[in-house]
Structure 1
Amino acid sequence: MKELLFFEPVVRDLIWGREVWTICAHSHGTCRVREGRFEGVSLAELWNQHRELFGYVDCRIFPILVKRIEAWEDLSIQVHPDNEYAAKYENGELGKTECWYVLNCKPDGTIIIGHHAKNREEAAQMIKENRWDEFLREVPIKKGDFLRIDPGTIHAIKHDTEILEIQQSSDITYRLYDYERLVNGQVRELHIDKSIDVMTVPFPQADLSQDCDAQHIKCEYFTITKHEVNNRLEMEQSNVFQIISVVKGAGMIDEHEIQTGESFIIPYQYGKYCLTGNMSILVTEL
């Protein structure tokens, strides 16, 4: 019988808070198997040497990165490139499509998604003149919201917000503005020209809940479904692999205890499994 894959996370302390990479096989951080047959082996090594665990998916690197973002202060105003731009200008990196699940936020919580510029020239002028209140689009959020951040979308997570981010395996971020914060006495690098290059202009004033509802969100690269476990839930792994993230509560999967904050992989052809306890989980599939 195939083993479930549990990992030790990679923790990154940052100027605005903390990121906990729970599933990752990136050059900037790769988690290692916590127990079982592959204990101590990195996810990157598993992907390269045991592709049978992942249904022989044809992809150069493990395609998904899962992280918990704990924002104690505002994140920078930022944007990510798509695959084509990243491949050309970032040494073959993947672009970055993100899907967010709001774990916690203030009662009046907001985030930055999008902007109000009519064209790229107006956007560049607003940025040059630091007209951020006029330029940026701030929207309300609440606990349990799903949001999709496509490449080219100007965005920023605000302080006192906790997000589970499921994304392409990329660490490319272009910063437009960072509140003139210092790291080791130096202002953090900005990427104004690249940001203007890749931003979507004008920003489509579409419903932010596109391709999602309270239980489901999808993008070009993966689908996420939320399930509630109330005492017992039987499921089956019939995809190339599944990533399960526990976003609330605790319980068990087969004989393994699981709790809030954990993410793990159910490998190819694992078959049926049983979840018990009281918890909310997100299931990510390609």
Structure 2
Amino acid sequence: MKAYPIQFEAILKERIWGGTKLKDYLNKPIISEITGESWEISTVPGDISVVANGDLKGRNLNEIIADFPKEILGERVLENFGQQFPLLFKFIDAREDLSIQLHPNDELAKKRHNSFGKTEMWYVMQAEEQSRLVVGFKKASNQKEYVQHLENNSLLELLEEIPVKAGDVFFLETGTIHAIGSGVLIAEIQQTSDVTYRLYDWGRVDAEGKSRELHTELALEAINYELTPSKITYTANENQATELVHCPYFNTDALPVDGTVKWKSHEGSFTVFMCAEGKVTFTVEGVTYTYQKGDTVLIPAEISSIVIEGKATLLEIFL
């Protein structure tokens, strides 16, 4: 295999709370007026990403990893995760509030669902003036207090609501109660998992008048009742990588490009770039590729260097 930057067909998801920003802002070929998610890179069963470009076009991510494990994932990733691609990348458009929810940790997810947990982060790409996120408790709580407020439909009284703007970053450890508020467009980076416990859904019903399932009992053991600050404060400098998140599951840097950046790989790991703003070119061994806001690209571990040129804000994710 001659390594090259790999893009994938977007896996688009209708959601009761979705809208049209994935098309309006990110140029995704949305499937309806309630398209809530674009899964950019996924190996979640039933939603395996398919290569959209180059010699591997038409093959899915699991297949190409099976054929070229070291070249794509890198030695360090193989040692830690085997041939399982460990991350899931999404763009999310919340026209309406998402449900208040949480994700279990690795131990609980493995025991109950034979799955990874879902540690995740959000990068706010666009937000309306009054938009906010729900992230964790205002102060440390406990199961008794939580259940009382849940039963009284007053759960929001316990939870932290944070106004947001483009460029804001949040890191959500497993067990953190959270919700994306209406009017927010985000990039989401997370462990490969689709396990979510829905706690409260605003009394919402679907087109058939049915409420979505809640997971009240499952959530009780999974909730982190402690105070868990989630907003990341950072200062990004042009043409330099700035650390946003460093955790056992992934690392994410902000890379604002204005001009030329000579990028070097992270030894033993693949890298994923998500373009949050602007337009850039990547030149790899004399071949130039162009990316713009809303594009996501997998850089196989075998690629050691790239010349990046243009003006853009990139999220750089690696293990």
Same fold (TM over 0.5): yes
Q: CA deviation at 1:197?
A: 1.4
Q: Paired residue for 2:66?
A: 48
Counterpart contact for 1:232–1:276, Cα < 8 Å: yes
Deviations 1:52-88 (A, max 9, x none): 2211413252101110001000000001000000000
Q: CA deviation at 1:181?
A: 1.7
Counterpart contact for 2:172–2:230, Cα < 8 Å: no
Q: CA deviation at 1:185?
A: 2.6
Deviations 1:2-21 (A, max 9, x none): 22211111111110011001
Q: Paired residue for 1:98?
A: 120
**Is 1:188 the equivalent of 2:212?**
yes
Alpha-carbon distance in 2 for matches of 1:256, 1:50:
22
Counterpart contact for 2:38–2:90, Cα < 8 Å: yes
1:51-66, aligned counterparts within 5 Å?
A: 51-52=69-70, 53-56=72-75, 57-58=78-79, 59-60=81-82, 61-66=84-89
Counterpart contact for 1:247–1:280, Cα < 8 Å: yes
Instruction: Flag the 1:175–1:207 CA change in 2: closer, same or farther, 3 A.
Output: closer
Identity %: 32
Report runs of 4+ in structure 1 exceeding 4 Å deviation: none
Q: Paired residue for 1:147?
A: 170
Deviations 1:161-182 (A, max 9, x none): 0010000011111000111222
Deviations 1:177-215 (A, max 9, x none): 1112223331100000111211111334x46327x6653
Alpha-carbon distance in 2 for matches of 1:228, 1:137:
30
Q: Paired residue for 1:16?
A: 17
Alpha-carbon distance in 1 for matches of 2:37, 2:147:
30
Deviations 1:64-123 (A, max 9, x none): 111000100000000100000000011x11100001101011234311011246211111
**Structure 2: segments with no counterpart, 5+ residues:** 19-35, 237-241
Q: Which moved more, 1:11-20 or 1:28-37?
A: 28-37
Instruction: Flag the 1:177–1:213 CA change in 2: closer, same or farther, 3 A.
Output: farther
Return the TM-score normalized by structure 2.
0.84
Counterpart contact for 2:135–2:230, Cα < 8 Å: no
Q: What is the count of residue pairs matched by the alignment? A: 283
Q: CA deviation at 1:245?
A: 0.8
Alpha-carbon distance in 2 for matches of 1:228, 1:120:
43
Alpha-carbon distance in 2 for matches of 1:226, 1:69:
19
Residue of 220, 229, 247 corresponding to 2:276? 247
Counterpart contact for 1:146–1:217, Cα < 8 Å: no
1:1-286, aligned counterparts within 5 Å?
A: 1-17=2-18, 18-52=36-70, 53-56=72-75, 57-58=78-79, 59-60=81-82, 61-90=84-113, 92-116=114-138, 118-183=141-206, 184-204=208-228, 206=229, 208-209=231-232, 214=236, 215=242, 216-239=244-267, 240-254=269-283, 255-286=288-319
Bigger strand share: 1
- SS of 1:246's equivalent in the other structure is strand
Return the TM-score normalized by structure 1.
0.94
**Structure 1: segments with no counterpart, 5+ residues:** none
- SS of 1:127's equivalent in the other structure is helix
Q: Paired residue for 2:25?
A: none
- SS of 1:7's equivalent in the other structure is coil
- SS of 1:32's equivalent in the other structure is coil
